[in-house]
Amino acid sequence: MDGMDSFIYSLVLVPALRELLPKSGIAATTANVGFYGGLLFALFMIGWGTALIWGPIADRFGRVRTMMFSITCFSLFTLLSAFATGVGSLAVLRFLAGVGIGGEWSIGASLVSEEWPEERRTKGAAWMHTGYYFGFFLAAAANYFIGSRFGWRYMFVVGGFPALLVGFIRNNVHEPVRWAAKLEDLGEKWKIHHAFLMLFSPRYRRRTIFNSIYLIVSLAGLWAASVYVPAAMTYIATRTGHTATAGARLASYSTALLGMATVLGAFIVPFLAEWLGRRATLAIFYGVMLGAIWVAFGHVFYMETGAVGWFMLCACLLGLGGANFVVYSFWLPEQYGTECRASAFAFITNIGRFAAAGFTFLVGAGVRHYQTLGKPVALIALAFVLGIALLPFGEETKGKPLPA
């Protein structure tokens, strides 16, 4: 459900800003939509980055209780976004929604890693992560049936539905025995900040640094490229003579293809990881993202004929490459002990959001400068060159048990 809520904004970016920019005294030009769209994406990423606080809380007070609070947070502020009166109010609400959404992945991955049997743990973490991408599909379906008919505000109303799951989680999901036993061993003197400080101890410092860099690369590709797929499709549809309604539906189709391809990739990831190792698998998906971003936004976006069909194909490849995030769902928990596992996951996956926010802002500024969406996004592909070059320095954990 966090995938659905996080992707809703990318689907409604163009219609929402076309309505809200004039209300804020700003002309709704293509350049301004691109610039302020990137700015709001960046603020959302900064909010997501501050969600690193959820990790130490989960290590000290429990995975399940912390998850309930984070779900309530992102659902509430996504719902309130439906009542935004201008760009400023939408920006504040998106920031607060980001704070809530940022807690889901780290807590969920820690919970699954500690609960599933060792022989099925890798697949369990990968399957858990597919829920995020099914959220893309749900968001696309909601946009097709609701957003294209009733408007962008109703999409944010749909984003409030995950709060209904809190009651189910409270009654049916229990804290991992592994975490409870570790907390008992540590005793009452174990405080929230102790788990966080362990990440920079001699034992974990090198891993934390390189893992953070890998996440920055992945996040730059996702938030500065994949989330612009609906907006790019909307502009392509407009340029090729489609109506606004048809453009919204084409954006939904492209997002659905993106989500389905990522789900497919997510099912492939654990088999590749067990065969080739964690680092080699991540390198393969980095390569797919590099090529897909460069071709989609550097070439297909500017095609005079056949752009819709070719961009749909590129959306599939972007979705497949986007499954690189699944690797982290089992690779990061394998590198840290139970006492700081959620803190490590939350820090690594969320600190990169600040850097990704910078990339996203640069894309928006590039759109404003070049008066086009394609070229600035295409340049983000270069981040994956850096990622591939640094992967040999990562910690290979293939065949090793989850640390106690």
Q: Each residue's pLDDT tens digit in the chain (404 positions)? A: 566 767 787 778 888 999 999 999 999 887 888 788 878 877 887 888 888 889 999 888 888 888 888 888 888 999 999 999 999 999 999 999 988 888 888 888 888 888 888 888 888 888 887 777 677 678 878 887 888 788 889 999 988 887 777 766 766 778 888 888 877 777 667 778 888 899 999 999 999 999 999 999 998 877 666 777 888 888 888 888 787 778 878 887 887 788 788 888 988 999 999 999 999 999 999 999 999 999 999 999 988 888 889 999 999 999 899 899 999 999 999 999 988 999 999 999 888 777 776 777 777 778 778 888 888 888 889 999 999 999 999 999 999 999 98
pLDDT in the model for residue 46: 83
| Domains located in the chain, CATH noted | 2-393 (1.20.1250.20)
pLDDT on residue 121: 87
- SS3 of residue 1 by DSSP: coil
Residue 336 pLDDT: 95
Q: Alpha-carbon distance 150 to 147, whole Å?
A: 5
In this structure, what DSSP letter does residue 187 have?
-
Question: Measured between alpha carbons, how far is 83 from 149 in angstroms, rounded to an integer?
Answer: 18
pLDDT for 224 equals 60
The type of residue at 404 is: A
Q: Are 322 and 265 in contact (CB under 8 A)?
A: yes
Nearest Cα residue to 281 out of 153, 199, 397: 397
pLDDT score of 167: 66
- In the prediction, which pLDDT does 225 show? 65
Return the pLDDT at 291: 94
Q: Characterize 169-200 residue by residue with b for buried, 16 or more Cβ atoms within 10 angstroms of its Cβ, and e for exposed.
A: eeeeeebbebbeebbeebeeebeeebbbebbe
DSSP 240: T
**Among residues 167, 229, 262, 186, which one has the least CA distance to residue 10?**
229
Contact between 343 and 198 (Cβ < 8 Å): yes
Q: 188: Cβ–Cβ under 8 A, 6 or more apart, which residues?
A: none
Under the phi-then-psi rule, with left for phi > 0, alpha for psi from -120 to 50, and beta for the rest, what region is 169? alpha
d(CA 224, CA 41): 9
Distance (Å, rounded) from C-alpha 339 to C-alpha 354?
Answer: 25
What was the pLDDT predicted at 199?
93
The tokens for 381 are 């592909």
